A and B are shown apart, each in its own frame.
Chain A
């Protein structure tokens, strides 16, 4: 009996040995590994703010020397004002295109003869209190209005960015400049206008067209000519 018991015990031990070996060998033999890659990013900064204020560019009265007979704003020799006060801020992390669009409307009544555009108004672009550019009509002739607009745009862009727009050879845009990513766009400028009282007085830019004869001519017209001004500044990301 005892002999059988030990044979049975040996058999059970053998079976247990076989089972345990299979299980352990399977467990120990199993190879596992892994890995994780991680990364993160935030949205690049924009934060560009542009403010253009020009509600009081023209007035109905300039002291007591020039007073409108109705409610219309007027301009006359010896008057002046501020067309626009521009404030730009921001330092975007992307490359941008800085564009300026000036719309200077001079109705055809500003003509002093066939094909003779006349604008005695001198425009001054200032950065803070520093005069950056003075823009004026340099001759009386056709399509001088468009040339005056372009000159104003270039002057305003230069005052805002310190950059000249494309040259006359046609490369690049004459209405905008590119700014590199990370460049501060902060700027504070004003665009002022003045119709000098005396065309031959000291201080008028050399070559500016301003004569008493032309002033009297347009002031005597049965329908007075009009002037309107609008300024649009845009900053757009480019790639």
Chain B
């Protein structure tokens, strides 16, 4: 091999070594950059949870979902939470008891009325979609009945005046209630309140039926004959809205400040950078493997 050829080989060798070194460096830089992005993301999530509400972080804003349902007594709904829609004692306008359960369990009688308030709270920094429905079951001696008539009436409405059951002038009989799921959305830091009203008219127009139902209950022995009773369930399901900036409900704080940055654009940029770096990492690994195989 001539000196020139040798020099050329050496030059090419040098360039190859430089290229290899360059690739290795880029590989290291990629790994470091990926680790940096992940670290920044974790820090952003942690810091966002402790920052005051009117401050924001510039690099990434994390999701902070917080949806709950509570009632006027401060009880939070979980899985089949027992609430106080019905009562064991009903009082008249003078505060005197007119219906009293002898056993302490909840009862219904002509003239009894109940009003139950509950609300959906979105305390998080992103919008949610929620779905609510109500179902009743009429039980005779512990078994569900679709034929027994109970002169119980209901209506359900939001604090904004939207009626889900009945109307301002109309109450629905419990046997006739048909409600499709009510679907709505709540913006960040917002809530929506509901009121469920239940009543049994004192003058129902059918004293015979009222008396028959009362006598059935009096004849109950707590075993096979339990009289007539009602089971009521209110079910709610919520999930994150596709648009975290969507509006809905009543905002908790309306002090004119700027809206909280949800970081959608910044978060997208973060993901793009992460994907690019992962792609580059895979490319460099493949390139190095290829080089090694070529050597063999």
Contact = CB atoms under 8 A, between A and B. Distances in A.
A35 interface: yes
B279 A18 contact: yes
B290 A7 contact: yes
Given A92-B214, A94-B98, A35 B69 contact: yes
A224 interface: no
A38 B214 contact: no
Q: Which of B71, B106, B107, B128 has the largest number of chain A CB atoms within 10 A? A: B107
A34 B238 CA distance: 6
Contacts of A36: 77, 79-81, 233-236
B108 A17 contact: no
A188 B82 CA distance: 43
Interface of A is mostly: mixed
Given A29-B63, A36-B235, A44 B101 contact: yes
Interface in A3-54: 3, 6-7, 9-11, 13-14, 17-18, 21, 25, 29-47
B109 A237 contact: yes
Interface in A111-161: none
Interface in A199-239: 237-239
B145 interface: no
A168 interface: no
Contacts of A91: 102
A25 B282 CA distance: 20
B23 interface: no
A35 B214 contact: no
B116 to A, nearest CB: 8
A237 B287 contact: no
Interface of A: 2-3, 6-7, 9-11, 13-14, 17-18, 21, 25, 29-47, 90-95, 180-182, 237-239
14 contacts: A3-B294, A10-B286, A14-B279, A33-B237, A34-B235, A44-B214, A45-B102, A46-B211, A92-B214, A94-B98, A180-B97, A237-B111, A237-B202, A239-B92
Given A3-B294, A38-B83, A40-B86, 4 more contacts: A33-B68, A39-B86, A182-B102, A239-B110
